[in-house]
Amino acid sequence: MKNLDTAKIKNIVLTGHSGCGKTALAEALLYRAGIIDRIGKAADGNTVCDFDPEEIKRKYSINLSLASFEYSDFKINLLDVPGLIDFAAATNEGLYAGDTVIICVSAKSGVHVGTIKAFQAAKKLGKHILFVVTKIDDPNQDFYTVLNSLKEHFGAAVCPVIVPEISNNQFKSLVHLGRMKSYTYDKKGVSVAADATGIVLNDKEGVTADSLMDGLSEAVAETDDEMMMKYMDFIDEGGEGTPFTQEEISHGIHEAMRTGRAMPVFTVSCTNPAGCDLLLEFLKYMPDPSTAAALKATDKDGKEIEVKVDASAPVSAFVFRTVADPFVGKMSFIKVITGTLKPDSDLTNAATGASEHIGKLYTMLGKKQSEVSSAVAGDIVIATKISANTGDTLCDPAKVLSYEKVQYPNPTYRMAVKASKQGDEAKISTGLQRLLEEDKALSFGLDTTTKEQILAGLGDQHLDVVKAKMKGKFGVDITLEEPKIAYRETIRKKTDKVQGRHKKQSGGHGQFGDVWIEFEPTDSDSLVFEEKIFGGAVPKNFFPAIEKGLQDSVKKGVLAGCPVVGIKATLLDGSYHPVDSSEMAFKIAASLAFKEGMKQADPILLEPIGSLKVTIPDDKNGDIMGDINKRRGRVLGMEPSGEGMTTIAAEVPVREMHDFTMYLRQVAKGMGEFTFDFERYEPLPANLIDEVVASVKSDDDDE
């Protein structure tokens, strides 16, 4: 690719609900631009953007993919992101790097949760929004119902520009309202234009091109005072005045989109590909990176600053995605914010302070790499084998700064990781650490209470893909199991002093240790040991051994073998033998006293309780509170969170929360989120004791 300036770069994100045709649209645009010679299909596993083996196998997007190409002296960086909630990390990365967000909506199925979440995310980041209605040639399409739904959900700023002509429920042509032209397409996407004045767009409802022009003209009029005056004169004269010219409409649409006053709606078929020529032409007029909102950053002194995309400033770039490729090595997706990034240059990693050598730079068309000689501010390129991680800022050593990082969803679906084959534990750790670099919505670590390796993600599909990648990329099979619950044991009453006596004679020196210990409840999580020995009944040099015996004993209680907490042991009396007594003998005696004391002290099982904060749509409050009650939880309160959402606070046993991620997704249709953190331990209900004891002992037997 030849070098371009910032004004010639368009960073376009394709997003929307799963199955709405994002990848198909990317294929159609690439075909219409002459980059590929045929349109691939996700079902056939031959698309440019879905090239990962798992994407081909599953027939849906799981990764962010970049398709960069030149069209009419412009460089377009298409960022195709997943629609499934399980892979929201890649979606967030794409939204961060893009400037214009195309939200794909199926003409067949319309607005879904994924549509709404994509819109909310784009608005939050201050991105320019364009709706593209796909699948217009589907026999079950209902475009004008979908258009009304878009307006209902996203307001009057939704502005149709390219709309279909539907006759007998069949797609006939596309009408460009700004030009008042209709375009009829052949199978290769080549169009024939005709005048669209007076054309009936929907024979069922009598929608005409002229009637939709009113909304378009109103959006154009709101771009400046002069246009508004002209529009008002036109209205005052009953439509007999001077209408907007094609140039005014074109300029007004782009200006309205730039300012957020309008969100254009385009229509395409990804099979012909009808309408993709009009969309490509429109993309040339999309705002370039220099017009985007300033990025938040922190300078070397910790002061917050704002930085605009600027080719004349010292170089700075942001690593917004990392791919762990077993053949190429580490691939870093970089958006240049200021200056010009060049190969064979040395920059400072603001996160670590270390120098980072940039070797060759590449652009991507799916999995195909092409080397480039430089990347100007606003452009997106790939560097390989650098040490920087996702979220790091690379910058000129003379001007060090750090850009605000991408926000990622909280991984809430937890599973225990086990090796399918003995000896693969090291491979698991290495492989998962590589995948953690790639996927920031994953977490992996040791649960110190259960000694299990815990992998957390966004859902079952997310972790299933991780499992498949571990096999495909790193050659190691893993199994995922429901994590163990870290139960505890404690006592509820104080005992009288309990004897622990160990005596053994086996020839030569024998073994003798005798202790009397009192046990009682305490607030401490760890064992509290005291001694109140009088008269030297037990020599002081044996006290550490007695305490060690008790410390070892509290690791396994008498009910289910769980660690014991909240217990105090006071050594009151004992006896010893001047020859046969030893540290080991007193250690054993202490453990015998502990076992007997636990039985007398009314032992109980404790279960972990977590603090839950779940945010859901208002109309789901009853469902969620009912479910919390079924999980033995206690609702503590609720408060509005804005935009039709409510946050419910509750305390719920950890035992009951394993499947809550999937339940919430099902009930809230993907619009809910939650946090769940350990709070404290409480007694396990009596009706669950036998079940828990059996399950804990079963787990111990398996080990």
Asked if domains 413-481 and 605-702 share a fold, the reply is: yes
Q: What is the pLDDT of residues 438-450, one digit of tens each?
A: 999 999 999 988 8
- Identify the pLDDT of residue 246: 67
Q: Is the pLDDT of residue 38 over 70?
A: yes
pLDDT band at 701 (very low <50, low <70, confident <90, very high): low
Q: Is the pLDDT of residue 204 over 80?
A: no
Please tell me the least confidently modeled range out of 212-221, 259-268, 631-640: 212-221
pLDDT band at 700 (very low <50, low <70, confident <90, very high): low
Tokens coding 185:
């397409």
- Identify the pLDDT of residue 174: 94
In sequence order, which residues have a C-beta less than 8 Å from that of residue 215 and are 6 or more positions away?
156, 159, 160
Question: CA separation (Å) from 595 to 102, 521, 526, 559, 564?
Answer: 67, 15, 17, 10, 11
3 state DSSP class of 99 = coil
Q: What is the pLDDT of residues 382-407, one digit of tens each?
A: 999 999 999 999 999 999 999 999 99
In contact, 261 and 222? CB cutoff 8 Å: yes
What mean pLDDT is predicted for residues 42-49?
Answer: 92
Cα–Cα distance, 599 to 420 (Å, whole number) = 39
In sequence order, which residues have a C-beta less than 8 Å from that of residue 293 and are 6 or more positions away?
126
Q: What is the pLDDT of residues 449-461, one digit of tens each?
A: 889 999 999 999 9
Cα–Cα distance, 61 to 465 (Å, whole number) = 11
In contact, 51 and 66? CB cutoff 8 Å: no
- Identify the pLDDT of residue 696: 85
Q: What is the pLDDT of residues 334-386, one digit of tens each?
A: 999 999 999 999 999 999 999 999 999 999 999 999 999 999 999 999 999 99
Tell me which of 3.40.47.10, 3.40.50.300, 3.10.20.600, 3.40.190.10 is the CATH number of domain 8-290. Answer: 3.40.50.300
What CATH code would you report for 413-481? 3.30.70.870
- Identify the pLDDT of residue 237: 58
Closest C-alpha to 560, from 702, 450, 697: 697
Listing DSSP states for 259-311 in one string gives HTS-EEEEE--SSS-TTHHHHHHHHTTSPPGGGSPPEEEEETTS-EEEE--BT
- Identify the pLDDT of residue 34: 94
Residues of the chain above pLDDT 90, percent:
73
pLDDT band at 635 (very low <50, low <70, confident <90, very high): very high
Please give the DSSP secondary-structure letter assigned to residue 407: P
In contact, 502 and 588? CB cutoff 8 Å: yes
Residues of the chain above pLDDT 70, percent:
96
What mean pLDDT is predicted for residues 460-479?
Answer: 93
Cα–Cα distance, 159 to 231 (Å, whole number) = 16
pLDDT band at 422 (very low <50, low <70, confident <90, very high): confident
Residue type at position 607: E
Q: Is the pLDDT of residue 165 over 80?
A: yes
In contact, 575 and 547? CB cutoff 8 Å: no
- Look at the pTM and tell me if it is higher than 0.85: yes
- Identify the pLDDT of residue 238: 55
**Dmax (CA) of the chain:** 121
- Identify the pLDDT of residue 507: 65
Question: CA separation (Å) from 619 to 279, 347, 624?
Answer: 38, 51, 10
- Identify the pLDDT of residue 248: 74
Half-sphere exposure of 45 (CA within 13 A, CB side): 7
Domain boundaries, the chain: 8-290, 295-403, 413-481, 489-601, 605-702
What mean pLDDT is predicted for residues 22-36?
Answer: 95
What mean pLDDT is predicted for residues 78-94?
Answer: 96
Cα–Cα distance, 607 to 562 (Å, whole number) = 11
- Identify the pLDDT of residue 2: 61
3 state DSSP class of 234 = helix
Cα–Cα distance, 645 to 627 (Å, whole number) = 18
- Identify the pLDDT of residue 257: 72
Query: How, if at all, do strands 340-341 and 488-491 pair?
Result: unpaired
In contact, 621 and 613? CB cutoff 8 Å: no
- Identify the pLDDT of residue 483: 95
Arithmetic mean of pLDDT over the chain: 91
- Residue 92 belongs to what H/E stretch? helix 88-97
What mean pLDDT is predicted for residues 680-701?
Answer: 87
Surface-to-core class of residue 218, CB atoms within 10 Å of its CB (0-12 exposed, 13-18 middle, 19+ buried): middle
Q: Is the pLDDT of residue 241 over 70?
A: no
Q: Is the pLDDT of residue 85 over 90?
A: yes
3 state DSSP class of 154 = helix
- Identify the pLDDT of residue 29: 96
Tokens coding 268:
């395409």
Q: What torsion, rounded to 10 degrees, do the Cα atoms 82, 86, 88, 94 define?
A: -30
What mean pLDDT is predicted for residues 531-548?
Answer: 91
In sequence order, which residues have a C-beta less than 8 Å from that of residue 44 and are 6 or more positions away?
none
In contact, 173 and 184? CB cutoff 8 Å: yes
As beta bridge partners, residue 335 has 318, 380
Give the position of tokens 């709606």: 265
- Identify the pLDDT of residue 368: 94
- Identify the pLDDT of residue 449: 86
Architecture of the domain delimited by 489-601: 2-Layer Sandwich (3.30)
Q: What is the pLDDT of residues 285-336, one digit of tens each?
A: 888 899 888 999 999 889 999 999 999 999 999 999 999 877 777 899 999 9
The CATH class of the 295-403 domain is mainly beta
As beta bridge partners, residue 82 has none
Tell me which of 3.40.50.300, 3.30.70.240, 3.40.640.10, 2.60.40.3470 is the CATH number of domain 605-702. Answer: 3.30.70.240
